[in-house]
Structure 1
Amino acid sequence: MHTVPDLRAHGGADAFLRNCASRAVLDLLTNKWVCLVVGALRPGTMRFGELRRRLDGVTQKMLTQTLRDLERAGLVHRAVYPSVPPRVEYSLTPLGQNVAGLMDAIRVWSEEHIDDIRTAQEAYDTKAGEELQPV
């Protein structure tokens, strides 16, 4: 059996350990809306209304919270321009651009394999719905 060493003593992180701070990053990145916001911002700067229209189904509250979380984590830059009404634009920081490729790959994989996943789910549900047969 292979045991992975605890890398924290050497300055590393190990998300498999319950107290590792990297779990907070995983929590952030595994949020559906985070993945979609990062993907929407990958091509370039967008205003709040543009993001909301692009992300079908997101509420104003959820989009606001997601953008705040991403800004706090250093993945999104929020620029406010003095005008009436104030103009606010969002863009990915270099760190956000860095993770955007991973998020985009997950989205693309999801789109490409949705039929496989649905087929597997239907097969599972059918099998689970059958009565146990004596051997």
Structure 2
Amino acid sequence: MPQTTTASRRPAKRQHAASGDPVQEALIDARATRPILEHIANKWSVLILTVLCTRPSRFNEIMRRLDGITHKALADALKRLERNGLIKRTILPTAPIGVEYTITPLGQSLQQPFEALYAWALAHGPELERAQARFDARSGTPSEDGTA
């Protein structure tokens, strides 16, 4: 049986999308976008790209600016972002050798959506916290800080 790739299956899926069935189209769109969103929409990727939008940074500087990220989580996220073409890793000719991370034009194209998401989080964060507290009080579920 011949091996197929995701790219070779996409045209067949798109034919179904043209059928006009909104449920089928939504499922196809979710299948097509899920892998992409998994790479860019996780917590650390969004924050790393936001940091790098302002200026190129070294590993330790990024780590200091992202309170709570572990060394391993940052290293893994930077590799994933570089693999996806969203950041560039440059070895600096310094002693000791340094590494600097810079956002690419592709990564820069996410700045506006991330700024909108950040503004939304600031504007609606308190509303989310109140909704969570109401839910936790109704269900008896402990909140994230451990209180009921």
Instruction: State the TM bucket, normalised to the shorter chain.
Output: 0.7 to 0.9
| Unaligned stretches of 5+ residues in structure 2 | 1-11, 19-24, 141-148
> Equivalents in 2 of 1:100, 1:7: separation in Å?
30
Corresponding residue for residue 50 of structure 2 = 39
Answer yes or no: is 1:29 the counterpart of 2:40: yes
Q: Specify which of 114, 122, 125 is matched with residue 111 of structure 1.
A: 122
Cα root mean square deviation, aligned: 2.5
Q: Specify which of 76, 80, 89 is matched with residue 91 of structure 2.
A: 80
Structure 2 CA distance for partners of 1:67 and 1:20, relative to 1, 3 Å:
same
Structure 2 CA distance for partners of 1:99 and 1:120, relative to 1, 3 Å:
same
Task: Give the CA deviation at 1:7.
Answer: 6.6
- Select the structure with the greater relative contact order (CA < 8 A; seq sep ≥ 6): 1
Q: Conserved in 2, the CA contact under 8 Å of 1:35 and 1:103?
A: yes
Amino acid of the residue matched to residue 122 of structure 2?
Answer: E
Answer yes or no: is 1:122 the counterpart of 2:133: yes
1:95-125 Cα offsets, whole Å, 9 max, x none, are: 1000122122212211221110011111122
1:28-74 Cα offsets, whole Å, 9 max, x none, are: 12210001001111111111111011001111111111011000000
Q: Conserved in 1, the CA contact under 8 Å of 2:63 and 2:74?
A: yes
| Unaligned stretches of 5+ residues in structure 1 | 1-5, 130-135
How many pairs are equivalent? 122
Corresponding residue for residue 14 of structure 2 = 8
> Equivalents in 1 of 2:62, 2:28: separation in Å?
35
The structure richer in helix per residue is: 2
Relative to the length of structure 1, the TM-score reads 0.79
Amino acid of the residue matched to residue 139 of structure 2?
Answer: A
Q: Which runs of 4+ in 1 moved over 3 A?
A: 18-21
Corresponding residue for residue 102 of structure 1 = 113
Q: Conserved in 2, the CA contact under 8 Å of 1:75 and 1:95?
A: yes
Relative to the length of structure 2, the TM-score reads 0.72
> Equivalents in 2 of 1:71, 1:85: separation in Å?
22
Amino acid of the residue matched to residue 70 of structure 1?
Answer: L
> Equivalents in 1 of 2:13, 2:102: separation in Å?
34
